[in-house]
Amino acid sequence: MNERKSDGKRVCGRRVGLVAVGLLVASGCTRPVTLRATAYDLDARLDPGTHELLGRADVTLTREPETGVAAGTGTVCFALNAALNVTEVTAHGARIRSHVVTPPAARPQPETDGRPPMRVHELHLENVGPTPRLTFHYAGVLVQDVQAGEKRGQVHNFLMAAHVSGEGIYLDEGGGWYPLACDEHGEPQPVAALFHLSAEPVAGMRLVAAGEPAPAEGTRQVWRTRYPVTGMALVGGPHERKERAVGGVRIAAHYSRPDDPHSQAQIEKHTDLFLDAAAKYLERYQPLIGPYPYEHYTIVENFFSSGFAFPCFTLLNRALLAMGPRGLAHGMLDHEMLHAWWGNTILVDPQDGNWCEALTTFGANYYGYVLDGDERGARNQRRNFCVAVSRLKPAEDLPLGTFGRPQGAGREVGYSKGAMVFYMLSEEIGIDHFWAACRRLTADYKGRFVNWAVLQAVFEQQSGRALDAFMQQWVRATGTPELRLEAARWRAETGTLEVELAQDAPRALRVPLRIVADDGAARDEVVALDGRHNTAAFPFDRPPRTVVLDPDFRVLRRLRPQEIVPGVATTRAGRRLLVVQPSGVVSPLYQRVIDDFGGERGQKEVLLRTADDVSAAELSAQSVLIVGDGLRSPAVRALLKRAGCPLSLTATGFRFEDRTYEEPGHAVLCTVHHPDMPGCGITVYFGNSETALGRSDLLLHYRDSAVIFETTARAAEGKTVYESRPIARRDFESPTVVEVRR
C-alpha cells in the first residue's frame, strides 16, 4: 500500500531490525563467546478487559562462530516494553552471574518511530555451553492511544505497536511484547530466527499470528514459522471468518459484522471480493515468482489505519474493506500479498538498503496493470513514479540503496524511484529473464537475508549480463537525470532529422523519442546518451513536424515543473497557500479540505480570502485553493481561464470540458498548473450541494488532475444513507515537445 512504512523503517508493514535476535557481546573474560538467538518459544495470555499480557519467552542461543571451548562467558542484552515487568529469568546451559535493568530511555521523536519506551535487560552469563537457553517470565498492561497515530491523508497509523483491548489486539514485533535482542544502548540487533507461539484463546476474538497455524496444545492456539523470520506479531479482533481453498493454500478473511442488515450484506459481498482477489493474485503471481511460501493466507480487518503484511496474513483497515472494488486498486491488497515473498520470506538485509518495497511496488502497483493488459494504466504508473521523484528536493534525492537506513532516502525514493529502477532492469535484461531471476530468488533464499549485491548476482546469473554499471548508476548514485530536448532540425538535402539531447550529469541512458510527421504519422526511436550531450541523426521519408521526449516515461527522469501532471500535491507543496472561500459561514466539509491543504500548524503560511475580497495580485503570488462559491469571483475566473482550466460554473451546477453536471449529487476536484508561479498549483473543489461533498475527507488520496464525483442516496433502517463515487477522471499532461526547424 505503499505507503510510508516509517520512511523505510518498516518492511512489509513491520520495522526492520526491531525484531531481530539475541546477540552476545564478548566481555573481558578469558574465554569469551558470541551467541545469536536461533529460536524463540513464546507463550501469551491476553485479557482485553484489563489490557494485560502475561508472557513467557524461551530464547535458544547458538554459538557463532563455534569457539571450540567447552564453556564461555559473555553479556547478552534484550529490550522489553517498559510497561512489562520481568518476574523471573532463568538460564539453561549457562549461569546468570548478574542481571542489570536500565530505565526506559525517552524517545525524542515518537511520531517517526513507533517503538514504545523499552527497558534493556543486560544479562552477564558464565559457563555458557553449546546451546544455552534463557527463559523470561513477564507481565504488564499494554494500552496505547489509538487516535494519537491517526492522521488524515495518512494510510497507516505508525504509532501503534503494543495494544490489548476489547476493540482489538495488535502486538507488533517492534512493540517489545517479547524480549527483543539489542545492544547495550537498546538498539535492535537483527538476526533471523524460528518462532513457536502459543496463546490462550480470547473469548469473542479470533487471533492470528505471523506463522503457520499448528495443532493446538491443550486449549492453546499454536503457530510456527516455516522459515527463519525477523520477528513475531500477534493480532486479533471480534471477527467473523470466511475461508476457501486455492490449490494447496487456505485463504481466509477475518472481518467484523455490522448491526445494520444492509451493511451486513455489503460487507459479506466485499469480503467475497477480497477473497476472490487474493485467489486471483495467487494464480497470476505464482507462475512469475514461484510457489506461495506458506499453506495459509488470511486477510485480517484492523481497528486502526493500516496496510501491513506479515508472514501468512495481511492487516487491513476496515475502511479499506468497506470500499469494496475501490479497495482493490493495484498497490493495495496485491502489494501486501507480494510481501509474503519479498520481505517476509526473503528477508531484507538491514546492513544495506531496503529493496523489497521497490520490488513489490514494481510487481503490484505497476505490473498489475501489465497483467491486466492495461497499457495505458501501466504507462500512467511509470509517469506517476517519475512525478513522485521529480517533486523531491535535490537534497532528498538520495541513493536508492540507502532507503531504510538511518538518514537514508525517504519513501518516494524507496517506492517510486525503486519501482522505476526495477522496470528499467526488466527492460535491460528482458522481462522473461527478470521473472526467472525472481523465481530463482524464491527458490534459493527463503529465510535468508538478501541485499542489493545478492539481487545483482541473481539477476546477472539468470540473464548472463554484467550489471555493475546499472547498479552503480541507479542504486548507489545520488540524484535522478534531468533531460533536455534542445533542438530538432530537418536536413532536406540528406532526408535526415538531427536531434540534440542533453542531461545534467554524464550517465549511460537510452532515451526514447517520438517523431511526428505533418500528417500525424509517428515513429519511435531511441537515442544513446552516454555523456552530457549527444546529437543523433535519423533518416525520415518526409519532413517531420515535432519530436516528443520519452512520451511513455520509459526512463526514470526528473520532469520539468510544467511536465508534472498537476494534482492536489502540486497545490499543497508550496510554503504559501491562498484559500478563496465562500462569503459567510463555510461548510464544515469545505473547512475540512481547507485544513487538509493547510497541513500541520506552522508548516506553511495560509492566507484566507472570500470571493468578494480576493485580489488578482494575491491570486498571482502563490498556490491557490478555491472551495465552493469562491469559484464565482471574477478574479478567480480570470486566473482559471489563463491557466487553461476546463471548469466553469453554470446557473445550477458546473461544466467540465464539454459536459454539464447539474445534479445535486455532483462535485468536482480539479487542479491545474499556476500560470504565474512555476511549480505551484490551483485546486478547485466545488459541489452542487452539501450532500455532494461526501468525499471531502479523501481528497488528499487522489493523484488525478480532475475527478468528478456523484453522490446517491438510499434508505437503510429508516435513515437516508449517502454513497459517493468517482464517475470521471482526467490528467492534464504537458510533455516536452520541440518543433522541428526546416
pLDDT digits (tens, 9 = 90+) for 224-235: 999 999 999 999
pLDDT at 64: 73
Classify 138 as helix, strand or coil. strand
DSSP character string of 144-169 = --GGGG--TT-S--TT-SEEEETTEE
Which 3-state string (H, E, C) describes 519-539? CCCEEEEEEEECCCEEEEEEE
- For β-strands 24-25 and 72-81, DSSP reports them as antiparallel
d(CA 189, CA 130): 21
Instruction: Write the CA distances from 685 to 221, 542, 646, 677, integer angstroms.
Output: 51, 47, 13, 20
Report cis status (omega within 30 of 0) of the bond before 258.
no
d(CA 311, CA 447): 11
pLDDT at 153: 63
In the chain, the amino acid numbered 63 is R
Beta strands in 596-705 (DSSP E): 605-610, 623-627, 647-649, 654-656, 659-661, 666-673, 681-687
d(CA 55, CA 36): 22
What cell was used for 264? 451486513
Instruction: Write the CA distances from 508 to 420, 468, 486, 535, 721, integer angstroms.
Output: 16, 12, 18, 15, 57
Once rounded to an integer, what is the mean pLDDT over residues 127-155? 89
- For β-strands 313-317 and 307-310, DSSP reports them as antiparallel
Per-residue pLDDT band for 201 (boundaries 50, 70, 90) equals very high
Once rounded to an integer, what is the mean pLDDT over residues 724-730? 93
Instruction: Write the CA distances from 522 to 254, 379, 742, integer angstroms.
Output: 52, 18, 18
The sign one gets for the Cα dihedral 674, 414, 22, 443 is positive
Once rounded to an integer, what is the mean pLDDT over residues 51-67? 88
- Residue 132's nearest CA partner among 237, 62, 221 is 62
% helix / strand / coil in the chain, to the nearest 5?
25, 35, 35
164 within 8 A of 143, measured Cβ to Cβ: yes
Classify 631 as helix, strand or coil. helix
Q: Is the pLDDT of residue 23 over 50?
A: no
- Residue 734's nearest CA partner among 551, 510, 514, 545 is 551
The sign one gets for the Cα dihedral 466, 468, 474, 475 is positive
d(CA 658, CA 636): 21
- CATH of 483-558 given 3.80.10.10, 2.30.29.30, 1.20.1250.20, 2.60.40.1840: 2.60.40.1840
- Residue 709's nearest CA partner among 690, 726, 696 is 726
267-294 pLDDT, tens digit each: 999 999 999 999 999 999 999 999 999 9
Per-residue pLDDT band for 426 (boundaries 50, 70, 90) equals very high
What cell was used for 621? 503570488
Once rounded to an integer, what is the mean pLDDT over residues 488-501? 93
CATH of domain 347-476: 1.10.390.10
Once rounded to an integer, what is the mean pLDDT over residues 430-445? 98
**In 605-682, where does DSSP find H-type helix?**
616-619, 634-642
d(CA 523, CA 513): 8
pLDDT at 697: 87
Range of weakest confidence among 105-119, 216-230, 615-629? 105-119
428 within 8 A of 465, measured Cβ to Cβ: yes
- For β-strands 449-450 and 347-348, DSSP reports them as parallel
- The reply to whether domains 10-238 and 483-558 share a CATH topology is yes
Between these two residues, 410 and 2, which has the higher pLDDT value? 410
pLDDT at 73: 86
- For β-strands 576-581 and 605-610, DSSP reports them as parallel
| CB burial readout 258-296, b (16+ within 10 A) else e | eeeeeeeebbeebbebbbebbbebbeebbebbbebbbeb
Q: Is the pLDDT of residue 84 over 80?
A: yes
Classify 29 as helix, strand or coil. coil
Q: What is the dihedral of CA 185, 11, 340, 373, to 10 degrees?
A: -170
Q: Is the pLDDT of residue 18 over 60?
A: no
Q: How large is the C-alpha radius of gyration of the chain? A: 28
The sign one gets for the Cα dihedral 289, 294, 295, 300 is negative
Once rounded to an integer, what is the mean pLDDT over residues 132-151? 93
Distance from the first to the final alpha carbon of the chain: 49
Q: Residue 361 gets which letter from DSSP? A: I
In the chain, the amino acid numbered 612 is D
Q: Is the pLDDT of residue 110 over 50?
A: no
pLDDT at 263: 78
Range of weakest confidence among 43-57, 249-263, 277-291? 249-263
Once rounded to an integer, what is the mean pLDDT over residues 592-598? 93
- Residue 54's nearest CA partner among 178, 167, 174, 233 is 178
pLDDT at 158: 86
Total residues found in the chain within this entry:
742
Fold annotation for 10-238? Immunoglobulin-like (2.60.40)
Bridge partner residues of 297 (DSSP): 251
Segments making up each domain of the chain, as ranges: 10-238, 347-476, 483-558, 568-730
The whole-model pTM stands at: 0.90
511-541 pLDDT, tens digit each: 999 999 988 889 999 999 999 999 999 998 8
d(CA 589, CA 6): 29
Burial status of residue 54 (CB atoms within 10 A of its CB: 0-12, 13-18, 19 or more): middle
pLDDT at 30: 45
What cell was used for 609? 480570502
What cell was used for 411? 519513501
Q: Is the pLDDT of residue 16 over 70?
A: no
Per-residue pLDDT band for 156 (boundaries 50, 70, 90) equals confident
